[in-house]
Amino acid sequence: MASLLSSLSDLPRRLAVFLDRPGFPWKKLVIGFSIGQYVFESLLSLRQYQVLKHTKPPKALQDEVTQEVFDKSQAYGRAKAKFGFVSNLYSLITNIGIYQFDLLPKLWTLTGTWLAQYAPERFSGEISHSIVFFFTFSFMSQLLSLPTSYYSTFVLEEKFGFNKQTPGLFFTDLLKSQALMVAFGTPILAGFLKIIQSTGTQFFYYLWLFAIVVQVFGITIFPIFIQPLFNKLSPLEPGELRSRVEALATRLKFPLTDLFTIDGSKRSAHSNAYFYGLPWKKHIVIYDTLMEKSEPQEIEAVLGHELGHWLLSHTTKLLGIAQLHLFYVFSLFSIFIHNNSLYDSFGFHNQRPIMIGFILFSEALAPMDTVIRFLMNILSRKFEFEADKFALDLGYKKELARSLIKLQVENLSTMDADWLYASYHYSHPILTERLKALNYQSAGGKVASADVKLNGNGEVVRATDREL
């Protein structure tokens, strides 16, 4: 037994030695996977593009949406798909260029020179160097992504009537985001590096605890300091909607502290509603665009769905999975942190900065993260069906179905999807599947069932059932 425990305790060291092979082509593997992922996702997008060329709505929606709305939704979907092909290719070429031409080691050397020339001597250590490098690299990445971000907002979204931003607001938001990243990122990054430097080979455990504290801190300060910088939250005025929401919260014993409306129309015509907060203190936020386009009972149904996530512990489960994922990532990083072959492959021959190691490790971990994201989408869609069922059991069948259709129409969301594309990308089931699961009666008196396959028991064959 003692020998077994000794063997297990020595496993991380042996695995680290096994993975640190001189001359191992980590860079080629990372670039190769990036290209393979782009090709695979582009093929999925091509499949979806064929669906976006359909000229008739799914039968389940033919009594719910006009031909004009469907045509516009399809056009919007095709426009986003075309933009996705180009923007993803641009990102791929940018990332390959950064790694192929060893821009990371060059930028690390450059930021080190800046510190040596312009900063006081007390800022000459690895932590200060890493902070300067990180923010310089983030600023460069922001500049590189600016053309696609600007086009998406002021051309694509503008064309379909969703953009409400001005260029001034766009760039103001950008500057605020950068300022917040520096203000909060500096102490967080310094703490991250200091923990690794100070706690030895078991740093991943302390790093995980630190990450949990940072998350709780973020949840606490977000509504107080961060969100007001971008949007105005106003208490929901007394009236039918407020009465309905408060009654629903009381009925479900939801710890509602504040009920807000948010000026989402300041930036976009898209609609939404959500809740956030600590377990004993929750806040509900409703977009002004949703209030303009939906009846109070429909918004109540949407919130019934959202509170279903809470009562069914979906948010708790997802938070728990996120913490396990963090622990898994930090644990694996402890194996890679001294991997000389990884550093050498990306041009770091004489220095082994912790920050660089984590960036390179994250790139090497990308294939596994893709699998995890795929599995999380499966789980997310399962939770969405469960939350819909919860709202159905509360008596909101018609209201929830109508609100889902309205949100689909108002946001010009894709009304149909290729099953493989949806299985890989979507965190929510497609609308026809949700209407079928609700057993929704269309305006024409027909059960919404078109383009939704049934199994031998007459149940919906959902994307989640087709994936595994």
- Characterize the bridge pairing of strands 233-235 and 281-287: unpaired
Indicate which residues carry an active-site annotation: 306, 388
Give the burial class of 431: count Cβ atoms within 10 A of its Cβ; 0-12 exposed, 13-18 middle, 19 or more buried. buried
- The residues near 320 (Cβ < 8 Å, ≥ 6 apart) are none
Helix (H) and strand (E) counts in the chain: 20, 4
| CA contacts within 13 A on the Cβ side of 262 | 22
**In whole angstroms, what is the distance from residue 423 CA to residue 382 CA?**
12
* 230, 234, 240, 246: CA torsion to nearest 10: 90
Distance from chain centroid for Cα 425: 11
Give the burial class of 117: count Cβ atoms within 10 A of its Cβ; 0-12 exposed, 13-18 middle, 19 or more buried. exposed
Contact 15, 335 (CB under 8 A): yes
The span from the first CA to the last CA of the chain, in angstroms, equals 38
User: Could you give the strand order of the β-sheet that contains 273-278, starting from the edge strand earlier in sequence?
Assistant: 233-235, 256-262, 281-287, 273-278
- Characterize the bridge pairing of strands 256-262 and 233-235: antiparallel
**In whole angstroms, what is the distance from residue 316 CA to residue 383 CA?**
12
Contact 432, 399 (CB under 8 A): no
